[in-house]
């Protein structure tokens, strides 16, 4: 976090917190309140990917995924909301996997689908404050998350090759491309957009 903050510039505040822990969120946003006082744009992007056939899923796995991907995002918004001024913007990260069946993703996809529903509800609830709430749903993006799933390089290459067959543009997205989509949704260029999902998946969901 310190390295990232240094790369972004001297006016960057870097705080480490576990979004699955509400007490960690309380601590983090208390520091934000004391240091900068407000949050004009909230990008709730923290998430984990764990995949297993439904018959192999456990309560521990369910809690691990859901506590980060849904509960974490929900309470991030809840704890941050008092710091968001009228006219602010919230963007949540979902996944293209909510639009089709993906073997092994029963917990992951269901939790992300909950975020899609949450965005629509909050868009209506927070409209009175002109706070917009939108969703970015990426397809496969080349990030370090593949290495964090416990797969060796050969398995990662096999998974990537299999996914590539279902992407009409025949490549993975980049984090920079997703960042530009988020920047658009958060900006005044999207001032009349709320409760919507922007799918950035290279055409994957069209199959």
Catalytic residues: 108
By CB atoms closer than 10 A (0-12, 13-18, 19+), residue 195 is middle
- Quickly list H helices, the chain: 2-8, 22-35, 59-66, 73-80, 106-125, 153-164, 175-186
Beta partners for residue 172, in sequence order: none
Residue corresponding to tokens 């989509």: 181
Distance CA 205, CA 167 (A): 8
Backbone dihedral angles phi then psi of residue 181, each to the nearest 5 degrees: -65, -45
Task: Please choose, from the candidates 185, 182, 164, 183, the residue with its C-alpha nearest in 3D space to the C-alpha of residue 173.
Answer: 164
User: In this structure, are residues 78 and 22 in contact, taking their beta carbons and an 8 Å threshold?
Assistant: no
For the chain, state the CA radius of gyration.
17
| Residue among 109, 102, 113 at smallest CA distance from 166 | 102
Strand order in the sheet with 132-138: 41-44, 89-93, 132-138, 197-200
């Amino acid at each position: 976090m310190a390295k990232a903050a240094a790369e972004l510039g001297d006016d960057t505040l870097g705080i480490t917190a576990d979004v699955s822990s509400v007490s960690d969120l309380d601590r983090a946003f208390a520091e934000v309140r004391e240091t900068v006082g407000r949050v004009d744009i909230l990008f709730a992007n923290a998430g984990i990917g764990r995949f297993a056939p439904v018959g192999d899923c456990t309560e521990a796995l369910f809690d691990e995924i859901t506590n980060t991907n849904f509960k974490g995002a929900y309470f991030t918004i809840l704890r941050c909301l008092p710091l968001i001024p009228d006219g602010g913007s919230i963007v949540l990260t979902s996944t293209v996997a909510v639009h089709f069946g993906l073997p092994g993703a029963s917990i992951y996809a269901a939790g992300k689908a909950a975020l899609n529903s949450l965005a629509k509800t909050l868009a209506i609830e927070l409209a009175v404050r002109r706070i917009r709430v939108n969703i970015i749903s990426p397809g496969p993006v080349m990030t370090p998350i593949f290495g964090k799933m416990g797969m060796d390089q050969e398995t990662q290459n096999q998974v990537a090759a299999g996914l590539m067959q279902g992407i009409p543009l025949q490549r993975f997205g980049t984090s920079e491309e997703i960042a530009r989509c988020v920047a658009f949704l958060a900006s005044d260029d999207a001032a009349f957009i709320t409760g919507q999902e922007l799918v950035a998946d290279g055409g994957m969901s069209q199959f």
